Structure 1
Amino acid sequence: MALREDGTLFSWGRGYTGDGTQWYRTEPVWIKSNENEDFVDNLISVKIDEKVLEFEQLPILVDGTTLVPMRKIFESLGAEIEWHAETSTVTAHKGQTTIQLTIDSDSAIINGELTKLDAPPIIKNGVTLVPVRFISESLGTKVEWKETTKTVQITSN
């Protein structure tokens, strides 16, 4: 078992892991340890390769799209980011790729080309949240959703 800094409890192993099943769990599953249903329903973990990321602002779901803290994801994937407060835009650079996002805009610019987003970037509790699939795939990674553990798995090349 593991207790995360946000107070959530996860378990894995053989037999009863606490999630109501008798399955062998090789990946941690969330064990209901918080009675707040809104919190519970939106609890999402993010892993890059085999590392679970810790966030000051937890990822959230907005209309079926997972939004994650931008800086942590970008920097974990080796990108450099710049915040432009006067225009509420973020620019990320990794290798030959440049991505520009504007808060509350449903479009992004990748290497000069306009691209539609599933959800616009937002600011919550002073943290910029962005659509994880778009950002990760734009930086050349594979993104997978694991429903049983509510985990976004990002695999770099």
Structure 2
Amino acid sequence: MNTETLSETTNSKDLKNENHTQVVFNYIIFFGVNHHLIYENNSESIHVYINGNPLSLSAKPIIQDGRMLIPLRGVFEELGAVVKWMPAEFIIEITKDNIYIMMKSGSNQIKVNEKTYSLDTSPNIKDGVTYVPLRFVSEMLGSKVKWVKDTNSAHILTYDISTAT
């Protein structure tokens, strides 16, 4: 490679870095400095199971702030909950038996019955899909969640595994 080609390659890389920096800067300005890091786990698919049965989701789970978020409807309706989305207010309501969960997209404050919890991540909307924290919501509905790193899977149990036959 001659010096002129090397210089063009370097300038091209510098330009891409500047463009990338500008995109990131615009994103921060548009969404705010405190917006959470969201990314899809592209290296491997994340699998979700309920009582050992694979769950088909409408969209891939995402990782946000080190936590798994899943599409709102699929899992929680499968757990017997009623899900209500109020788009004008960005409010999510999930009810099951005597449990009422209310959360707002972008807010880490989640209300369960009369108690408010502050989480280290918040529900969010990505590509028109509302994502909520899997473990917190599942456990508030009375289920257990186990992450199996080797298979990149979340297992939701709605019964006590020690008494299952």
Instruction: Normalising by structure 1, report the TM-score.
Output: 0.73
For 1:52, give the aligned amino acid.
P
Cα deviation 1:95-147 (Å, max 9, x = unaligned): 00000010000110000211112310011121111110001000000011000
User: Which residue number corresponds to residue 29 of structure 2?
Assistant: none
User: Which residue number corresponds to residue 99 of structure 2?
Assistant: 97
User: Which residue number corresponds to residue 121 of structure 1?
Assistant: 123
CA contact (8 A) 1:57 1:125 kept: no
User: Which residue number corresponds to residue 83 of structure 1?
Assistant: 85
User: Which residue number corresponds to residue 52 of structure 2?
Assistant: 50
SS of the equivalent of 2:138 reads helix
User: Which residue number corresponds to residue 8 of structure 1?
Assistant: none
Q: Output the CA distance in 2 between the equivalents of 1:38 and 1:134.
A: 20
Q: CA deviation at 1:55?
A: 1.5
CA contact (8 A) 1:107 1:120 kept: yes
Q: Output the CA distance in 1 between the equivalents of 2:54 and 2:87.
A: 30
Q: How many residues align?
A: 120
Correspondence list, 1:17-36, <5 A: none
SS of the equivalent of 1:39 reads coil
Q: Output the CA distance in 2 between the equivalents of 1:105 and 1:49.
A: 30
Q: CA deviation at 1:56?
A: 2.1
Change (3 A) 1:156 1:38: closer
**1:39 matched to 2:47:** no
Name segments (4+ residues, structure 1) moved above 3 Å: none
SS of the equivalent of 2:42 reads helix
Q: Output the CA distance in 1 between the equivalents of 2:41 and 2:147.
A: 20
> If each structure's strand is expressed as a fraction of its own residues, which one has the higher value?
1
> If each structure's helix is expressed as a fraction of its own residues, which one has the higher value?
2
Cα deviation 1:19-63 (Å, max 9, x = unaligned): xxxxxxxxxxxxxxxxxx96115x211101111111121001112
Q: Output the CA distance in 2 between the equivalents of 1:104 and 1:119.
A: 9
Which ranges of structure 2 fall in alignment gaps of 5 or more residues?
Answer: 1-39, 160-165
Instruction: Normalising by structure 2, report the TM-score.
Output: 0.69
Change (3 A) 1:38 1:83: closer
